[in-house]
Copies of this chain bind each other. A is one copy, B any other.
């Protein structure tokens, strides 16, 4: 009997994966045991294997779901007619939004992907590399058409991506402060830093 997976209908596998994201973020992938996970889900460890193939499959699921969301968004931006500055601002806002609204998964995807097994490890690394190259290409375009300062594009990409991923440590305070406030400040500092 195949399950139909629609909007709000979470399968048991979905529950396991998102609970795992929480656990992996807290303790790291390697330090999280399937017994830890089972307890959080509310079943015995052996029962998890009726829904998933292995611990490693959970990590694959998290990493590639996140990666695909970022790639899809990048494609949309690449296809737009916006100025480079606007493109960068859109991407920056998307990263911040993802970090705030899909915190556990994004964090795990960003910090725990090294624990992927082959061939997924190689696949994932090449997605990351490609994402960065395409982002650098956008920045390079801005340097050539004089929208941006004459900066090294890979360095700018490095700064952008890691600045945003740092939101991690502020996540708790973010709910108190204001997500919009954070986003505004971040955009000001980063975009102004690049602008000519």
- Whether a CB of chain B sits under 8 angstroms from the CB of A114 is yes
Could you say which of A2-10, A68-76, A153-161 contacts chain B?
Answer: A153-161
What is the 8 Å Cβ interface bit string for chain A, positions 121-164, against chain B (1 contact, 0 not)? 00000000000000000000000000001011011101101110
Known interface pairs A163-B163, A170-B158. Does A185 touch B30 (Cβ–Cβ under 8 Å)? no
A192 at interface, CB cutoff 8 A: yes
Copies of this protein, total = 2
**Residue in B30, B162, B165 whose CB lies within 8 Å of A31:** B30
Contact of A28 among B30, B152, B186 (CB under 8 A): B30
Residues on B with beta carbons closer than 8 Å to the beta carbon of A169: 158
Q: How far, in Å, is A176 (CB) from chain B's closest CB? A: 12
A28-B115, A152-B181 given; A166·B158 CB < 8 A: yes
Residues of B within 8 A of A193 (CB): 189-190, 192-194
CB contacts (< 8 Å) of A159 on chain B: these are 159, 163, 166, 186, 189-190
- Is A45 located at the chain interface by the 8 A CB criterion? no
Complex Cα distance A194/B111, Å? 28
Q: Distance in Å from the Cβ of A4 to the closest Cβ of chain B?
A: 38
Find the residue from A182, A185, A190 having the highest chain B CB count within 10 A: A185
Report the bound CA distance from A156 to B115 in whole Å: 31
Measured between beta carbons, the chain B residues less than 8 angstroms from A173 are: 154
A180 → chain B closest CB, angstroms: 12
Task: Beyond A154-B170, A159-B189, A162-B162, list 8 extra A-B contacts (CB 8 Å).
Answer: A30-B31, A31-B115, A149-B188, A154-B173, A159-B166, A162-B165, A162-B166, A165-B166
Top 9 closest pairs, chain A to chain B, by CB: A193-B193, A162-B166, A30-B30, A30-B31, A155-B185, A159-B163, A152-B185, A189-B193, A163-B163
